[in-house]
Amino acid sequence: MGKVKGFMEFQRALPADREPLERIKDWQEFHKEMTSGELQNQGARCMDCGTPYCHTGMMLSGMASGCPIHNLVPEWNDYVYNGFWHEAYDRLIKTNNFPEFTGRVCPAPCEGSCVLGIIDPPVTIKNIEYSIIEHAFSEGWVEPKQILNRTGKRVAVVGSGPSGLACADQLNKAGHGVTVFERDDRFGGLMMYGIPNMKLDKKLVIDRRIDLMKQEGITFMESTEVGVDYPADKLLEEFDAVVLCTGATKPRNLAAEGREIPGIHFAMDFLRSSTKAMVDQSEPVLSSAGKHVVVIGGGDTGTDCVATSLRQGCKSVIQIEIMPKPPLERQPDNPWPEWPKTFKVDYGQEEAASLQGDDPRKYSMMTKKFLADGHGVLQAVEVSRVEWVKADGSFRPQPVAGTEEILPADLVLLAMGFIGPEEHLLQQLQVVQDERSNILATDATYLTNRERIFAAGDARRGQSLVVWAIHEGRAAARECDRFLMGETHLP
């Protein structure tokens, strides 16, 4: 815990952000930093709650409650409060390989289950986590660790997203020779090209970590797609084990009239184009400059599309969500410690409201069809309000007659999530998939139907959070190590 009665003395506080109209002019991270004294006050708010749900990592009502990697939150909060920053760093990295990732992009299910949150705003766990790791980097405490004892075993990790990197990091610590295959020209998976730079700086954050992992002995092979550039059957010939961490990259499509009209793109294609252009210092393949943009879908990806469109100089941006507007406070059917399904304004919506005068989101609205002009060019989207009607035991959206509306649109971005991993490699390896098309591998062993082939991350569990991907990568590494050595000392 932090300070006795500290939660009664100090109010929740977060670092200030750069002004919205200022930050949309560039691609730099927009959060400012707090002083050590301010962070100590926030650590002091961690109360002696008895049972700290913040690190339980449970699934409640289909949502994460508490930290999936079981971060020892009260312990490093206490260290921060007392000014013991090195001890806080040591405790943080016991459970999290990459707190610089989660401290930036995790939605913080730990805060949603904070016991203090029952009566007051929860402890600022995510910002304290971010501050600990950045303090450690600035002090030079984060150094490559030399692995002295090697097992002689070789493991291939396919995919360099958070699950692949966590898996590789753990297996390397166990003494195995690890090679990470990445089909893109840069490492990081979805974090590299799928998350904009203003949320996760590519050079400062991702490249910094990859450089450390290389110094620790991990081999990285970029621009190498297994099953295309590197024969799939060579994996089991050249490696003692394989871990598939390819992600769930098949986007959910929208079956609406006019879907074939040019100008309708998946969100990830748009975000990838933008970030790749930024890091390559080139022009994006897809641009919103001077266009009316309609983003279909909420969540983090939808928000990132809004923020990216603004930075590219769009004429306007609207975001359509089929779900109703969330309430301002928890409802009786959403009790603590479940993830609070309450209304939030993320950075993209804040920026759009500052520029356009209003929140860009339109709730309880569905897309009916896309409209083109006389030359086949995308011109608008027809939408209508919906009401959620219970049928066959579940609620389904039904369009409300007479509520149709035409929204101008030169560019439409589909941000409706993902439906599973791409299948060509799985078919080549003869790996079995479950009814949702994810790789079939048990929670106990992470082993697929093929001996020596394991799976982890979104490819196994479906689209999820970065912190769940890290959990999966660590768990798969543990089971892979057990398989190779007959026992394991990995957590």
Mean pLDDT of all residues in 427-441? 97
Is the pLDDT at 255 greater than 80, yes or no?
Answer: yes
What pLDDT does 392 receive? 83
What pLDDT does 479 receive? 98
What pLDDT does 391 receive? 84
What pLDDT does 158 receive? 98
Is the pLDDT at 460 greater than 80, yes or no?
Answer: yes
Is the pLDDT at 296 greater than 80, yes or no?
Answer: yes
What pLDDT does 84 receive? 97
Is the pLDDT at 21 greater than 90, yes or no?
Answer: yes
Is the pLDDT at 461 greater than 80, yes or no?
Answer: yes
Mean pLDDT of all residues in 455-464? 96
What pLDDT does 369 receive? 97
* 125-176 pLDDT, tens digit each: 999 999 999 999 999 999 999 999 999 999 999 999 999 999 999 999 999 9
* 110-122 pLDDT, tens digit each: 999 999 999 999 9
* 332-361 pLDDT, tens digit each: 999 999 999 999 999 999 999 999 999 999
Q: How confident is the model at residue 251 (pLDDT cuts 50, 70, 90)?
A: very high
Tokens 């066959």 sit at which residue? 392
Q: How confident is the model at residue 231 (pLDDT cuts 50, 70, 90)?
A: very high
What pLDDT does 438 receive? 97
What pLDDT does 393 receive? 81
Q: Which two three-digit tokens encode residue 3?
A: 């300070």
Mean pLDDT of the chain: 96
Domains of the chain (ranges, CATH numbers): 6-139 (1.10.1060.10), 154-249+419-485 (3.50.50.60), 253-416 (3.50.50.60)
Which pTM does this prediction carry? 0.96
What pLDDT does 434 receive? 96
Q: How confident is the model at residue 327 (pLDDT cuts 50, 70, 90)?
A: very high
What pLDDT does 144 receive? 97
Residue 299's region, left for phi above 0, alpha for psi from -120 to 50, else beta, is left
Q: How confident is the model at residue 365 (pLDDT cuts 50, 70, 90)?
A: very high
Name the least confident of 77-86, 239-248, 386-395.
386-395
Percent of the chain exceeding pLDDT 90 equals: 96
Is the pLDDT at 439 greater than 90, yes or no?
Answer: yes
Q: How confident is the model at residue 1 (pLDDT cuts 50, 70, 90)?
A: confident
- The secondary structure of the chain, three-state, reads CCCCCHHHHCCCCCCCECCHHHHCCCCCCCECCCCHHHHHHHHHCCCCCCCCHHHCCEEECCEEECCCCCCCHHHHHHHHHCCCHHHHHHHHCCCCCCHHHHHHHCCCHHHHCCHHHHCCCCCCHHHHHHHHHHHHHHHCCCCCCCCCCCCCCEEEEECCCHHHHHHHHHHHHCCCEEEEECCCCCCCCHHHHCCCCCCCCHHHHHHHHHHHHHHCCCEEECCCCECCCECCHHHHHHCCEEEECCCCCEECCCCCECCCCCCEEEHHHHHHHHHHHHHHCCCCCCCCCCCEEEEECCHHHHHHHHHHHHHHCCCEEEEECCCCCCCCCCCCCCCCCCCCCCCCCCHHHHHHHHHHCCCCEECCEEEEEEEECCCCCEEEEEEEEEEEEEECCEEEEEECCCCCEEEECCEEEECCCEEECCCHHHHHHCCCECCCCCECCCCCCCECCCCCEEECCHHHHCCCCHHHHHHHHHHHHHHHHHHHHCCCCCC
What pLDDT does 2 receive? 80
Tokens 């006795």 sit at which residue? 4
Q: How confident is the model at residue 20 (pLDDT cuts 50, 70, 90)?
A: very high
Name the least confident of 48-62, 181-195, 205-219, 231-245.
48-62
* 373-412 pLDDT, tens digit each: 999 999 999 999 999 998 888 889 999 999 999 999 999 9
